[in-house]
Chain A
Amino acid sequence: MTLPQAEVQTESTAAPGAPKKAPKAIAGKSPTRIAFDRLRRDWLAMASLVVVLGFAVIAVFAGQIASLLGVSLETPLASERINLISQLPLEGPPFGGYDPEHPFGVAPRVGTDNLAVWLYGARTSMIIASTAAVLSTVVGVIVGLLAGYLGGVVDRVLMFVTDLFLTIPFLLAALALAPILSDRFGTNPERLGEVQFYSVIAVLVIFGWMTMARLIRGEVLSLREREFIQAARAIGVPTHRILRKEILPNLVAPIVVAFSLALPAYVAAEAGLSYLGIGVTDRPSWGQTVAGAVTWFDVYPQYLWQPVIGIVLLVIALNLLGDAIRDALDPKTRR
Chain B
Amino acid sequence: MKRSKSMAAVAGAAALFTLAACGGGGGGGDQPQTGGEFQEGGAAGELKDPDAQGPADPIEGAEEGGTLNVLLPLPDEGPTTLDPTAGWSVTDNSILQNLVFRSLTTFKYDYETDEMVLVPDLATDLGTPNEDFTEWTFTIKDGIRWENGDPVTAEDVAFGMKRSMAESADLQGPGTKYSKTYFEGAEDYAGPYVDGEDFPGITVDGSDITIQMSQPFPEMDYWGSFMAMGPVPSGPEGEAPGYGNAPLATGPYKVAEFRSGEILRLERNDEWDPETDASRHQYPDEYVFEFAQDTTSSDQVMLNNTEQSQTTVLTALQGSSYQQATEALGDRVVPASQACTSFWNPDYEKIPEKEVRQALAFAYPYEDAAAAAGEIPGLTRTFGEPILPPGMAGREDYEAIEGETIETDPERARELLAEAGFEPGEYEIRFSFTNSTPEGRAAKEQIETALEDAGFATQAFGYGGSPYDVWTDPDNNIYKELNVRGVAWCSDWPSASTFIPALFETGQEYNTGNFSEQAVDDRIGEISGLPVEEQPAAWADLDRTIRQDYFPTLTLGYLNNLFAYGERVGNFQNDAAQGFPNWRDMYVVPE
Q: Quick check: is A172 within 8 A (CB to CB) of the other chain?
A: no
Q: Closest CB-CB distance, B295 to chain A, in whole Å?
A: 6
In this complex, how many residues of chain A approach chain B with their Cβ under 8 Å: the count is 40
The residue that B30 contacts in the complex, of A96, A186, A277, with Cβ under 8 A, is A96
From known contacts A85-B33, A86-B322, A95-B29, infer whether A294 and B371 are also in contact, taking CB-CB under 8 Å. Answer: no
Q: Closest CB-CB distance, A96 to chain B, in whole Å?
A: 5
Q: Closest CB-CB distance, A159 to chain B, in whole Å?
A: 36
Of A75-83, A124-132, A148-156, the stretch lying at the interface with chain B is A75-83
Closest A-chain residue to B450, C-beta based?
A: A77
Residues of B within 8 A of A292 (CB): 438
- A186 close to B477 (CB less than 8 A): yes
Q: Closest CB-CB distance, A265 to chain B, in whole Å?
A: 25
Chain A residues 21-79 with CB under 8 Å of chain B are 75-79
- A87 close to B368 (CB less than 8 A): no
How distant is the Cα of A85 from the Cα of B33 in the complex, in angstroms?
8
The residue that B26 contacts in the complex, of A79, A95, A108, A182, with Cβ under 8 A, is A79
The residue that A189 contacts in the complex, of B29, B449, B462, with Cβ under 8 A, is B462
Closest A-chain residue to B445, C-beta based?
A: A75
The residue that B442 contacts in the complex, of A91, A109, A295, with Cβ under 8 A, is A109
The residue that A85 contacts in the complex, of B27, B442, B449, with Cβ under 8 A, is B27
Q: Closest CB-CB distance, A124 to chain B, in whole Å?
A: 14
The interface residues of chain A, by DSSP majority, are classed as: loop
Q: Quick check: is A179 within 8 A (CB to CB) of the other chain?
A: yes
Q: Closest CB-CB distance, B421 to chain A, in whole Å?
A: 27
A95, A189, A282 — most chain B CB neighbours (10 Å) = A189
How distant is the Cα of A126 from the Cα of B304 in the complex, in angstroms?
39
Closest B-chain residue to A295, C-beta based?
A: B320
| Chain B: number of interface residues, binned into ranges | 35 or more
Q: Quick check: is A235 within 8 A (CB to CB) of the other chain?
A: no
From known contacts A77-B449, A189-B460, A292-B438, infer whether A95 and B30 are also in contact, taking CB-CB under 8 Å. Answer: yes
B323, B370, B372, B445 — most chain A CB neighbours (10 Å) = B372
- A83 close to B318 (CB less than 8 A): no
Q: Quick check: is A14 within 8 A (CB to CB) of the other chain?
A: no
Q: Quick check: is B34 within 8 A (CB to CB) of the other chain?
A: yes
- A78 close to B320 (CB less than 8 A): no
Chain B residues 304-345 with CB under 8 Å of chain A are 318-324
From known contacts A87-B376, A110-B445, infer whether A189 and B461 are also in contact, taking CB-CB under 8 Å. Answer: yes
Q: Quick check: is A157 within 8 A (CB to CB) of the other chain?
A: no
Residues of B within 8 A of A83 (CB): 25-28, 31, 33
Q: Quick check: is A298 within 8 A (CB to CB) of the other chain?
A: yes
Closest B-chain residue to A192, C-beta based?
A: B462
**Chain B 365-380 interface mask (CB, 8 Å, partner A; 1/0):** 1011011101011110
Residues of A within 8 A of B321 (CB): 295, 299
Q: Quick check: is B548 within 8 A (CB to CB) of the other chain?
A: no
Residues of A within 8 A of B374 (CB): 87, 109
Q: Report A's interface with B, CB cutoff 8 A.
A: 75-79, 82-88, 90-91, 95-96, 108-110, 112, 179, 182-183, 186-187, 189, 192-193, 277, 281-282, 288, 291-292, 294-299
A-B contact pairs, 21 of them (CB 8 A): A77-B368, A78-B365, A78-B446, A79-B23, A83-B27, A84-B367, A84-B377, A85-B33, A85-B378, A86-B25, A87-B320, A88-B31, A108-B320, A110-B372, A186-B477, A187-B481, A189-B459, A189-B462, A193-B462, A288-B438, A295-B296
Can you add 20 more A-B contacts, CB < 8 Å, to A84-B367, A88-B323? Answer: A77-B365, A77-B368, A83-B33, A86-B27, A86-B33, A90-B27, A95-B31, A109-B374, A109-B442, A110-B445, A187-B481, A189-B459, A192-B461, A193-B462, A291-B438, A294-B296, A295-B296, A295-B320, A295-B321, A298-B324
